[in-house]
Amino acid sequence: MDNVAKLEIDGKSYSLPIAVGSEKERGIDISTLRQSTGCITLDESYGNTGSCRSNITFIDGEKGILRYRGIPIEVLAEQSSFVETAWLLIYGRLPNRKELKRFSDLLTQNEMLHEDLKFHFEGFPAHAHPMAILSAMINATSCFVPGVLDAYDPAKFELQAARLLSKVRTIAAFAFRKSRGLPIVYPKPAFKYTANFLHMMFSDPYEEYDLKPEVVRALDMIFLLHADHEQNCSTSTVRMIASSQANIFACAAGGVCALWGPLHGGANQAVIEMLEDIHRSGDDGSKFIVAAKDKKSGRKLMGFGHRVYKNYDPRAKIIKEQCDKMLRLLKIDDPLLDIAKKLEEAALHDSYFVERKLYPNVDFYSGIIMRAIGIPLEMFTVIFAIGRMPGWIANYKEVMDQVGGRISRPRQIYMGPTEQPYVQIDQRIKK
Ligand code: CMC
């Protein structure tokens, strides 16, 4: 196969090299395009743009494949844990026992927040959205962590990464307790990552939360399935901020903001809100499907569709099985699950969804599991953020380790007015 693309502009021909990835993906390398042709490319919302070369995660959207550092997501979901997968994503290979223990110990040693940070939580109103608190508190925490504002240093990176990954879970749980007017529960060093999070969320000073292994496992798997997803909106945001050499906490805080939107991480909350609406209205889902197909209705089938997956989101398949298992184990009969299954069934046989290759994504069933665990709706996107942290950290590291990396700075096609005079205020047209 010829690895050169030919481009013709105004009768002049140009050759552009084609970069080939390890999975044989091909991308036309346009890094010299403007210099040689005077033109830039235009790709609004970046559906056709490779923003970087990356070694972290591989997705084949047509075949429904997702691999972290080459390992299929199905294998990791069955055999690994969130913390081990985090190490894999960040360092590029599976850790040995010693490395895993060292990293777990670092997470434990860094689980506490500086005591003064409690006053910051008190400054938020009771109804504050936990994603706003999470983003603000990640930045605030950096002020209490020595060395965070120093330039990136590979020797200190493991500690910084562990601090961020560990503290984000404490911040998330404190944000939830604060929003409910509940006393803060400190982390317990004896508990592992996910169990510790559940403990901080749901224990009370007078009564410890009953940590059911199946619940811990289900939440750990949700974290793991969200751990990375290559150049999505929030990860691209993290890489963009990192390219300016900002610190790891600033990059993660930006990632949280990008994730918040309902078209990205906010979709898991939007799915449950949609299912609740359908349930309340007495619809079995069929009326909603009609509305979701009508652009004028302003409705979408939340939890369906994906920019990259045009077959089936492999994470959705794992989550759906986990969801059935969890509800059976906890003996929960959730009418929203029945509605979700009916919606899925109807959509999979509806030409609108079939022709547009719209399938359930990771968010379609994850909310039902989180509801069953007792995680409140407004915390769903926070759970996604905790899960995505290893991916953001791995991408941050990849940007910082790049030799000769430049600041990310896209260009634009300007469509505004051409040069015009400044009109004095008295001479401007009155409206
Ligand atoms: N319900 C109804 N129609 C849809 C939906 C949907 N959920 N998703 C896409 N479409 C339509 C869209 O209107 C367009 O129709 P047409 O060709 O007639 O104009 C067509 O399908 C192609 O969609 P698109 O707009 O090109 O898709 P996109 O790549 O821009 O957006 C998406 C991807 C995930 C933002 C979108 O599918 C969506 O809004 N889904 C619902 C929100 C959601 O579940 N988001 C979570 C994504 S997975 C978690 C994550 O990674 O963040």
Q: What is the pLDDT of residues 86-115, one digit of tens each?
A: 999 999 999 999 999 999 999 999 999 999
Structure-token pair, residue 180 = 């409910």
Atom of ligand 1 nearest to the CA of 307: 29
Question: What does the pLDDT read at residue 334?
Answer: 84
User: What are the backbone angles phi and psi of residue 17, rounded to the nearest 5°?
Assistant: -70, 150
Question: What does the pLDDT read at residue 417?
Answer: 97
Instruction: Supply the residue whose CA is at minimum distance from atom 39 of ligand 1.
Output: 263
Question: What does the pLDDT read at residue 110?
Answer: 96
**Any ligand 1 atom below 6 A from CB of 307:** yes
Question: What does the pLDDT read at residue 284?
Answer: 84
Question: What does the pLDDT read at residue 148?
Answer: 83
User: Could you give the percent of the chain with pLDDT greater than 70?
Assistant: 100
Beta bridge mates, 6: 15
Residue that the structure tokens 């050169």 belong to: 4
- Whether 267 shows a pLDDT value over 90: the answer reads no
Q: Which of 210, 306, 333, 349 is catalytic?
A: 306
pLDDT tens for each residue of 60-93: 999 999 999 999 999 999 999 999 999 999 999 9
Pairwise CA distance, residues 157 & 408, whole Å: 22
User: Could you give the percent of the chain with pLDDT greater than 90?
Assistant: 79
How far is ligand 1, taken at its centre, from the CA of residue 348, in Å? 15
Query: 145: pLDDT confidence band, cut at 50, 70 and 90?
Result: confident
**Any ligand 1 atom below 6 A from CB of 363:** yes
**Any ligand 1 atom below 6 A from CB of 264:** yes
Catalytic residue at 363? yes
Using the CB atoms, write b or e for 400-426: b if 16+ within 10 Å.
beeeeeeeeeeeeeeeeeeeeeeeeee
How far is ligand 1, taken at its centre, from the CA of residue 293, in Å? 11
Taking the model in full, what pTM does it have? 0.92
What lies within 8 Å, CB to CB, of 369 at 6+ separation is 218, 219, 222, 319, 322, 323, 326
Pairwise CA distance, residues 205 & 16, whole Å: 65
- Report which of 118, 123, 144, 134 is spatially closest to residue 172, judged by C-alpha positions: 134
Pairwise CA distance, residues 40 & 55, whole Å: 27
